[in-house]
Amino acid sequence: MESENPAADQLPEAESLPDGFSSTTDPLPPQPHHKEENIIHPQPTNCEKSHPKYMEDSGGDPSQNMSAVKEISLPESVENKKVDASETKRKMIKRTFKSEKEFLEFTLKYQQVLAERDSAIAVRDKLESLCRELQRQNKVLMEECKRVSSEGQNLRLDLSNKFQDAIKDVSSKLEEQKDECLLQLKENEMLKSKLKQLADQYTLSEHQFANKMKQKSLELQLADLKIKQHEEKSQQEQSQMKIYADQVSQLLATEKNLRLQLTADGEKFQQFQEALLKSNEVFETFKQDIEKMAKSLKELKKENAFLKGKCDKSDVTLIELAEEREFLKKQLEKTRNQKEKLEALCRSLQAERKAHSLASSNSDSVKA
């Protein structure tokens, strides 16, 4: 039988290992046997094999046979025991050396494991301290987050209340502006209809004025022909009639330019119609200007009729023609004055149009 190792050579059990290490360990190497007992079984020797006949011949006495066999096999068994003892001793030395080597290696491994255990314990302590610090910081952060969230919630509530109040104010203002816009639209429609009527009247009077001017130009051309017929009678009268014709042509050109300017103003009138709709004062001044123009048209009609009568009388006699010429000079001066008045009126209309266009642009920018 094999004997067990002493208690001093035994390693600590798994339960006595430090914390952080598994209790499962590798199987321990086989312990060296300090004592061995070998049972030597006698083997048949060559003597026994070589003397079967002698044993058979010795007869039927078994005790004699056994004593003879023992005497023959005794030296061989002693030699075998010596060989086996030396072999056993050699194996014992080899096993002892091997077990000591394994024990040293295992001791080194165990010391390494203890060092790793100590470093792991230090790391664990550091990790535990870090965890406690992280938990403390996490708690502080959670409290800060709760405070910030509560403040944000209160701020959102305040902002939502302010936004609702602002929406209510804006909606009320929009309702008021809507009512005002409806009233202004109604007023604009009324003013638009009135201005349309006035524009129609103005275009009608303009056509009548153009017809009268054509008639006047024809009458002036007829007067020029009559003056040319009397050129032979008086050179001075001829020069005066030429001057008169030049003045009349200039007047016609001026009137034509005025008519073109009036048509251009009529076209531009559509552009600043919205500005005129918003101003009652401009409407009144425009109405007064229209009335003045109607009066001037009536005066021009009377003057044209008077000029026609004078031109008819110029066929009768030169004296009547001279008188008519003087009268026409007076009428031309009146027409020049009227032309200047019309130019002043046009300039005033242009200034008012610019002022109203600026006012409309300012109002549009304010609305925007």
Report percent pLDDT > 90 for the chain.
3
Q: Average the pLDDT over 67-71 and give the result.
A: 55
Cα four-point dihedral sign 137, 140, 142, 145: negative
pLDDT-wise least confident of 61-75, 196-210, 272-286, 326-340: 61-75
**How far lies 45's CA from each of 52, 57, 70, 190, in Å?**
12, 19, 11, 154
Any idea where the domains of the chain sit in the sequence? 45-138, 184-367
Q: What is the pLDDT of residue 251?
A: 80
Distance CA(126)–CA(129), nearest Å, equals: 5
Q: What is the pLDDT of residue 5?
A: 45
Q: What is the pLDDT of residue 94?
A: 85
Pick from 257, 260, 294, 289: nearest CA to 276: 289
pLDDT digits (tens, 9 = 90+) for 254-274: 878 878 877 777 777 677 666
Element (H, E) at 339: helix 318-367
Q: What is the pLDDT of residue 121?
A: 92
pLDDT above 70: residue 51: no
pLDDT-wise least confident of 35-49, 232-246, 268-282, 322-336: 35-49
Pick from 297, 282, 263: nearest CA to 349: 282
Region class of 219: left (phi > 0), else alpha (psi between -120 and 50), else beta = alpha
Distance CA(110)–CA(348), nearest Å, equals: 117
pLDDT above 60: residue 64: no
pLDDT above 50: residue 25: no
Question: Token pair for residue 70?
Answer: 């023992």
Q: Average the pLDDT over 14-38 and give the result.
A: 42
Q: What is the pLDDT of residue 86?
A: 84
Cα four-point dihedral sign 189, 194, 198, 203: positive
Residue 42's pLDDT band (cuts 50, 70, 90)? very low
Distance CA(64)–CA(58), nearest Å, equals: 8
pLDDT-wise least confident of 142-146, 230-234, 275-279, 283-287: 275-279
Residue pair 198/286 in contact by the 8 Å Cβ criterion: yes
Q: Which residues, at least 6 apart from 213, have a Cβ–Cβ distance to it below 8 Å?
A: 252, 255, 259
Report yes or no on whether pTM surpasses 0.95: no
Q: How many CB atoms lie within 10 A of CB 227?
A: 19
Provide the CA 156 distance to its chain's centre, in angstroms: 23
Residue pair 322/231 in contact by the 8 Å Cβ criterion: no
Q: Average the pLDDT over 35-48 and give the result.
A: 40
Q: Average the pLDDT over 30-54 and give the result.
A: 41
pLDDT-wise least confident of 126-140, 262-276, 308-322: 308-322
pLDDT digits (tens, 9 = 90+) for 317-351: 667 666 777 888 888 888 888 888 888 888 888 88
The number of helix segments (H) and strand segments (E) in the chain equals 7, 0
pLDDT above 80: residue 291: yes
Q: Average the pLDDT over 78-86 and give the result.
A: 79
pLDDT-wise least confident of 163-172, 244-253, 313-322: 313-322
The residue with tokens 């002693």 is: 78
Distance CA(155)–CA(162), nearest Å, equals: 10
Report percent pLDDT > 70 for the chain.
68
Residue pair 32/98 in contact by the 8 Å Cβ criterion: yes
pLDDT above 50: residue 157: yes
Q: How many CB atoms lie within 10 A of CB 352?
A: 19
Q: What is the pLDDT of residue 311?
A: 59
User: Rg for the chain (alpha carbons), in Å?
Assistant: 72
Q: What is the pLDDT of residue 276?
A: 58
pLDDT digits (tens, 9 = 90+) for 97-112: 888 889 999 899 889 9
**Which carries the bigger pLDDT value, residue 180 or residue 283?**
180
Question: Token pair for residue 269?
Answer: 């009138």
Q: What is the pLDDT of residue 231?
A: 66
Q: At what angle do helices 62-229 and 235-271 cross, to 10 degrees?
A: 150
The residue with tokens 């910081």 is: 137
